Structure formats: C-alpha cells, structure tokens
Structure 1
Amino acid sequence: MKQITMADVAKLANVSKSTVSQYLNKRYDYMSEETKKRIEKAIDELGYQPNFIARSLKQKSTATIGVIVFNILHMLTTQVLRAIEDVCQERDFHVIVCNTDDDPEKEKKYIEMLRAKQVDGLIIFPTGKNLELYEKMAEEQFPLVFVDRMVPGIPADAILLDNHKAAALAVNHLVEHGYERIGIVAPPIVPHVIPRLERIEGFKHALAEKGLPVMEEYMVGMEISRIKEGLTQLFSSDCPPEALFAINDLTLMEILNFVKDNNIRIPDDLALISIDDVPFSNIYTPTLTTIAQPTFEMGKKAAERLFMQIDQKNEHHQQILRFPPTLIQRGSVKQRT
C-alpha cells in the first residue's frame, strides 16, 4: 500500500503542506475552524499517521521525557508518576518510565539508553551513585530534575519532602499522647539515600527536643525482607517500645504483618505512625495515623521544572524545593492515661 503523506492530506483538504504542518503542531493562531475541520476530516479519511521521527529531527525534539524511579512499588513513586504524566499529557509529551530497584548499574544503563533515544529531559529518583553521569548532564545543561532525593555536589533541581519536619510531626504527636519509648523502622541506613538519613536525624533531634533519650536498640534498619526478624528480636526484650514510627509505606506493611502474626493490638499494645498516607489508612482497623507527602504537587512541580529547562535552553539555576508534610490523625495512636 502507498504510504500516506502530508502532501496527500494537503491535497484532499485543499490547503498547503505548511498549513497541515501547523495543524499537526497545534499552531492554530491564523487558522479558521473550517480549515481545521477539513484537515481533520482528510486525516481521518486517509488514515494519515505523522512521521514522528522526521518531525523530531526537524524540530530537534522527540516530545518525550524519561522518568527513572528507584522502586515503582512505592506509593510515592506511583502518585508522583501520575502527576508527571498529567503535565506531559497537557504538553503532548510522551513518558518512558524505567525502574532501577535502586541498582546503580541499572540506573546507568537506563540513563544511557534514554539519552540515546534523545529524550528531551530526565526526571530521576536517583541512586546517588552515578556521579560522573549526573555531572556530565549538569555540565551539558541537559534538562534534569531529581525527585525524593538530591545528590550533593550536583547542580540539579531537586524535589523533596521536608523530611526533618515529617519525623518531628510523628515524634511530637506520640509524645503529646503520652508515649516515651518510641522506636523507628527503616530500610538499611546508607549515606546516599538522603530521605532515610534526614528522617532518622529528624527523629533523633525531635526526641532530644522532648528530653527523651535516643535508644539505639529501638532503631530497626535493615532490608525489607528482614524487618519482621528485627522486630521479633526487638519485642522479645524486657522493655520493648510503646510506639513505632515507620519511615515509609513498605516498612509500614512489614510492621502490620508482624503485629498480626504476633497478636499485638494497635493502639492498645503498640501505637503506630508512618510516613506515606497509604490508600487503606482510613479503612484498616484501627485506622492508621500517617504523615502524608504532597505527592501530586511534588510530581507536578518536577514536571514543571523540567519543562522550564527544556523551554529556556539557557543557563539553569538550581533549586532545591522541599514540600511540607501533613499529619493525618486517626486511630493507631491513642491518649495514654
């Protein structure tokens, strides 16, 4: 079958090729409604498919961005992705999503692959371990935004939660309800994962502000698959914690599995509060007190900052934007007498 071209559309619609091109690129400023309808009808009748590769070469844009996430199972990740996709949809941009499992080798391959595909920019939840690649993109002024984590020394925009404040909200809420022996549950504590470090620092600082000791034995930091093992050891001690602070949704799930397996009653035996307002928080029994991240606002801002760089194509000034957490009080923390 003969390939349908823009010239075929122009002939059927009785307009010039440049008018069809303007229509396809949504430049309607001097185009009548009648002309738009004729072009639309011609495209439908002929089944014309624009050659996006040719258009991208001409316009020096693929109208595509890449988003590289460290764990697509996190609620933060899926909600931020949704907001990014919404902004891209408004701009007629496509989104390619890659998941690294926090593996720097996978991240390196994805960055190289996406750049080879000539995406117009990248939004990355970084592993923090590909410094040469990050530095190269920054030097080239390639549009780049980090989300959830920043990479010290790399002059790229970063969109993060105010992690110190989130931890303080949790500790203050527990202390105000009469709890003193407070534990924290986190994935492995590693220096390149900024949110974990900041939440743990915020936790310790908030305890000190309330005049409470930091009990190292109450700090469970290990691989997600081993958290229940760590909790078993913690709660077999003579003086277990009265309350737990889960630093994200995945650690929360492990705590909930542990308390169910061990017939621990929330909040009667153990108070519980976590960062990330998981969808089942208000239907779980008891309902779960959480610290919500403004995920959709964060995703929208990440996309806006990326498009600002794509559009301006000039010297970029780094911005680190921290978003405020919100305490949502429910039933997993009670007032102690």
Structure 2
Amino acid sequence: MKKVRIVDVATHAGVSKSTVSQYLNGRFGHMSEHTKQKIKQTIKELNYVPNPIARSLKQDKTFTIGVVVRDISGFNTSRVLRGIDDFCKENSYKVLIYNSDFDAESEKNALLTLQQMCVDAIVITSSGLNSALINQLVSEKLPIVQFQLEYPDCQTHIVLSDYEKASFDATEHLIKLGHSRIGFLAQEFGQSVSRNARYQGYLNALQHHGIEQDPTLINFWDRQAGFSTCPIEMINRDNPPTALFSQHLAITTDLLNLLNSQDISIPEQVSVLGFDEIPMVELFKVPVTVIKQNAYQIGVETAKLALAAIANPKLEQQRHIVQSTLVHRDSCRSIAGSE
C-alpha cells in the first residue's frame, strides 16, 4: 500500500502543502473553518498519519514531555497524570511517564534518560535529592516543572496546592469545634518547603486562637518504620489529643487501620481529619473529613506551564498555586465549650 504523503492530502483537499502543514501544527490564525474541516475530512478519508520524526527534525522539537513521579498508582498522582495527559493531547503533545518508586537513583536515571530522548520538557515530583542535576538541566535550557513538593535549592517552575492556607483552615475548623489538643501526624519536614508549609499553617491557626503549641502532639511517620509514637498511645495518655490531623493519604490510611484494630471509635473517642481525599470514602462507616487537593487541575496547570516554557525559553520562573477544598464529613465532632 502506497504511503500517503502530506502533498497527497493537499492535492485531495485542494489546498497548498503549507496550509496542510499549518493545520497539522495547530496554526489556524488565518485559516477559515471551511478549510480546517476540509483538511480534517481529507486526513480521515486518506488515513494520513503525520511523520513525527520528520516533524521533529523540521521544528527542532519532539512534541514530547517526560513525567517523573514517585508512585504512578497513587490516588492523587493518577489524577495529576490524567490532567497532564489530557492537556498535552489537546495540544498535540505525547507524554512519557517514569516511576521512581521513591528512589533517588531511579529518579536520576529517569531524568538522564528523558534528556537523552530529547523531550521538550520534564515534569517531576522531586525527591529533593537530585536538585543539582535538575538545576544543571535547567541551565542547559531544558524546561522543568515541579509539582506537589518544593525544595529551596531546586530552582524550577512549580505548581503547588495552597498548603499553608489549607492546613490553617483545617486546624481552625477543629478549633471551632472545640478542639485545642490537636495531634499533627506528618513525615519529617526536612528541606521540603511544602511539608514545612503545612506545619506552619497548623501553628498559625493555634497561635491565632491563643492555643499554646504542645510538641508532644507532633508525631512523625515513615513509609518503612511507620509512626514514631503509636497513635493509640497518644490517645491513651492522661491529657490526650481530642483530634488527629494527618498530612498524607498514606498516613491517614495507617492511622485508620490502627484505630480500627483497637476499636477506637471515630469521632466519639477521637476526631480525624486528613490531608488528601480518600478513595471510596463514601463507603466508610464514618466518612473522613479531608482537605481535597484539586489534583486534576494541578496536572492541567503543570502541563500548561511546561508547554508555555517550551514556547518561551526566556519565561521567568513561575510559581502557580491551586486552591484546595475542606470537605466536611462525619469524622470530626464538636466537643464541650465549642462555638
């Protein structure tokens, strides 16, 4: 079967070869709707498939962006990826996805591989352990956009949720329900600006309402080791927290499993509020109140910023914030003396 060429499309549609080329590259500025539809129909009739290699060589682009995430199966991450993919498809870009499995060396290899594949931009949730490499790639004019996690020594475009404000609003919600002893369950902050922002929002809410911070209410969690202090032990203290504010879906999941294993009643014995939506939460006996990040929109904004950086190599470093929502459910109760 003879391969259909761009000149065949032009001849069949009764337009110039350059007009078909402009259509394929999304340049419709001076093109009538009639011409666009005629070319579209001709491409369909002839089953024409553009040559991506020739297109890349001509425009010095691969029309591909690389995405590096820590866990592709994550509930929020999967929605971010859907937002990225949808926006890229709408703009004729392909997406290559690499999973780092929370491993810095795997992340480094993914970055180098994507660079060798000549992607036009990279989107990444960074571990914070490859900042020097990321900065080097940026200095070599490869556009990079981070999302979810921010580090002070990694200078790229970035898209984040409103972590500090969302944490403030969640903590204040608990305070207005009468809670003054609020446990804060989080990963070690380290150099992560994002994790520190959540903690700062928690502290700001306590301070705003005249509540003194109690360091014994901070409980750190690790993916391998779990909680530094068992939440059950916290609840059984003489002066226990009346509410627990978890900072990550994985932490919330571990917490709920522990509470369930010990028949701790939510919210009668302790109120629970989580950062990140929970899959199938509507099926829970007690649906959990959460801060819901707009993961899909984060994906869209991230892809949009990546393509903008490709189009304008001189684009100044951008920092976009996407608003989160506090979703009220049954896991937080009002206690004596509340408003």
What is the TM-score when the length of structure 2 is the normalising length? 0.86
1:98-247 equivalent positions in 2, closer than 5 A:
98-187=98-187, 189-227=188-226, 230-247=230-247
Report how far residue 166 of structure 1 moved: 2.0
Provide closer, same or farther for how the CA distance between residues 329 and 44 of structure 1 changes in structure 2, counting only shifts above 3 A. closer
Amino acid at match of 1:24: L
Letter in 2 for 1:323: V
SS in 1 for 2:76: helix
Aligned length: 335
Q: 1:255 to 1:42 in 2, by over 3 A?
A: same
Paired amino acid for 1:139: S
What is the alpha-carbon distance in structure 1 between the residues aligned to residue 22 and residue 209 of structure 2? 64
The CA distance in 2 between the partners of 1:13 and 1:141, in whole Å, is: 39
Relative to structure 1, is the Cα distance of residues 102 and 329 closer, same or farther in structure 2, using a 3 angstrom cutoff? same
| Of 227-236 and 68-77, the range deviating more from structure 2 | 227-236
- Give the gaps of 5 or more residues in structure 1: none
Corresponding residue of 1:321:
320
The equivalences for 1:1-337 within 5 A come to 3-9=3-9, 17-27=17-27, 43-44=43-44, 47-187=47-187, 189-227=188-226, 230-314=230-314, 316-337=315-336
Report percent identity of matched pairs.
Answer: 34
Whole-Å Cα distance in 2 between the matches of residues 20 and 235 of structure 1?
A: 68
SS in 1 for 2:184: strand
Change (3 A) 1:30 1:239: closer
Equivalent pair of 1:183/1:219 in contact (CA under 8 Å) = yes
Query: How far does residue 124 in structure 1 lie from its aligned partner after superposition?
Result: 1.3
> Displacement of 1:165 after TM fit?
1.8
CA drift at 1:260: 1.4
Query: Cα RMSD (Å) of the superposition?
Result: 2.8
Residues of 2 paired with 1:83 and 1:209: CA distance? 36
- Give CA-to-partner distance per residue, 1:250-285, whole Å, 9 cap, x none: 211111211211111111111011111334344422
Q: Which amino acid in structure 2 is aligned with residue 79 of structure 1?
A: R
Shift of 1:28: 5.1
Instruction: Name the stretch that deviates more: 153-162 or 232-241.
Output: 232-241
Kept in 2, the 8 Å contact 1:185–1:246? The answer is: yes
Tell me if the contact between 1:129 and 1:192 (Cα under 8 Å) persists in the aligned partners: no
The CA distance in 1 between the partners of 2:7 and 2:152, in whole Å, is 52
Q: d(CA) in 1 for partners of 2:332 and 2:268?
A: 9
Q: Which moved more, 1:29-38 or 1:193-202?
A: 29-38
